[in-house]
Amino acid sequence: MQKGLVIIPTYNEAANIEKIINIILAVSQKLEVLVIDDNSPDNTAKIIREIRKKNKRVHLETRPKKLGLGTAYVKGFAYALKNGYDFAFEMDADFSHDPIELPNFINLLGNYDLIIGSRYVQGISVVNWPMKRLLLSYFACVFARIVTGIPVRDLTSGFKCYSRNALARVDWRKFKVDGYGFQIQSVYSVYKAGLRLKEIPIIFVERRAGESKMSKRIIWEAWWLVWKLRLLSIFNGTRYIKK
Ligand SMILES: Nc1nc2c(ncn2[C@@H]2O[C@H](COP(=O)(O)OP(=O)(O)OP(=O)(O)O)[C@@H](O)[C@H]2O)c(=O)[nH]1
Ligand SMILES: [Mg+2]
């Protein structure tokens, strides 16, 4: 049986984490969970340590302070490769990504190396976002698609499934971006490696519990990154692929 790792970075997700892990583990026997917690003041990590006492399908990595989503995933991908997983997911803890949809990704793995859960392939499937945030996200994706030339509608999605091959081909150590930038650059890299990408519709629901961590810095970082990737496409499209 193939084995997959759902990587969930957490910062103050005590209200969500146990519930979401239970659903993930019930949804597919193939799945294990890795939580990457940045010393959350609400003691998210303590909850994981308790779960781990009874359940060996749950894993925990901790970091001393809040270091951002991008580097958390890089750590998670290294963990997945080192521990022999066949595929790995990026997923949020806050129920914006519905664990029920996980098998839809897994079913496509034989044919694709990166499956992207997309809010923008079947109309717009976002629930409970203020209009301002929805428009910002939607047009940011249109802009990023046009400038980078990557044929993907939801370039900033954080609900993604990578084959082991995709994880191994990308040189994650060269990534210096966080948040939306990380999402765009990861798709760019897999695409430039010549691997097969697929977008599938997901329904994205705004978090109900816990706090948002969106920042202006992350939006600016993504804006500059998109132009950088455009230039790289012209001069060195394989910058982030392992030689
Ligand atoms: N380890 C770690 N996890 C983080 C960090 N920042 C955010 N996260 C987690 O990454 C996931 C996505 O973050 P969110 O705060 O939900 O970001 P968002 O979805 O853009 O915004 P909201 O849902 O509106 O809050 C969640 O599981 C967070 O707990 C961080 O610096 N370190
Ligand atoms: Mg969220």
**Per-residue CA distances from 4 to 28, 55, 61, 120 (Å):** 10, 16, 17, 26
Helix (H, G, I), strand (E, B) or coil at 73: helix
Please, which residues bridge with residue 163 across strands?
A: 87
**pTM (global) more than 0.85:** yes
**Per-residue CA distances from 69 to 2, 14, 93, 106, 178 (Å):** 26, 17, 12, 23, 6
Ligand 1 touching residue 218 (CB < 6 A): no
Atom of ligand 1 nearest to the CA of 37: 1
CA–CA gap between residue 98 and residue 176 (Å, rounded): 28
CA–CA gap between residue 40 and residue 12 (Å, rounded): 5
Query: Is the residue at 241 inside a domain?
Result: no
Query: Is the residue at 144 inside a domain?
Result: yes
> What is the pLDDT at residue 213?
65
Closest to 59 in 3D by CA, of 106, 10, 117:
10
**Which residues, including other chains, have CB under 8 Å from residue 240's CB and lie 6 or more apart?**
170, 171, 174, 175, 185, 188, 189, 192
The H helix count followed by the E strand count for the chain is 8, 9
> What is the pLDDT at residue 212?
66
What range does the domain containing 123 cover?
Answer: 4-235
CA nearest ligand 1 atom 12, residue: 92
Alpha helices of 28-82 — where are they, by DSSP H?
Answer: 44-54, 69-82
Query: What is the number of structural domains in the chain?
Result: 1
Residue with tokens 């954080």: 158
> What is the pLDDT at residue 77?
98
Query: Is the residue at 181 inside a domain?
Result: yes
Ligand 1 touching residue 32 (CB < 6 A): no
Report the 3 state secondary structure along 93-152.
Answer: CCCCCCHHHHHHHHCCCCCCCEEEEECCCCCCCEECCCHHHHHHHHHHHHHHHHHHCCCC
Which ligand has the shortest distance to the CA of 16? 1
Render pLDDT for 120-177 as a digit per residue (tens, 0 to 9).
999 999 999 999 889 989 999 999 999 999 999 999 999 999 999 999 999 999 999 9
Query: Is the residue at 179 inside a domain?
Result: yes
Residue 91 C-alpha to ligand 2 middle, in angstroms? 10
Render pLDDT for 178-219 as a digit per residue (tens, 0 to 9).
999 999 999 999 999 999 999 999 999 998 877 666 678 888
Query: Is the residue at 217 inside a domain?
Result: yes
> What is the pLDDT at residue 214?
66
Residue 214 C-alpha to ligand 1 middle, in angstroms? 8
Render pLDDT for 10-43 as a digit per residue (tens, 0 to 9).
999 999 999 999 999 999 999 999 999 999 999 9
pLDDT higher than 70, residue 237: yes
Residue 136 C-alpha to ligand 2 middle, in angstroms? 15
Query: Please, are residues 148 and 230 in contact by the beta-carbon 8 Å criterion?
Result: yes
CATH of the domain at 22: 3.90.550.10
Render pLDDT for 87-130 as a digit per residue (tens, 0 to 9).
999 999 999 999 999 999 999 999 999 999 999 999 999 999 99
> What is the pLDDT at residue 34?
98
> What is the pLDDT at residue 241?
94
Give the single-character DSSP code of 172: G
Residues within 5 Å of ion ligand 2, judged at the Cβ atom:
92, 94, 96, 207
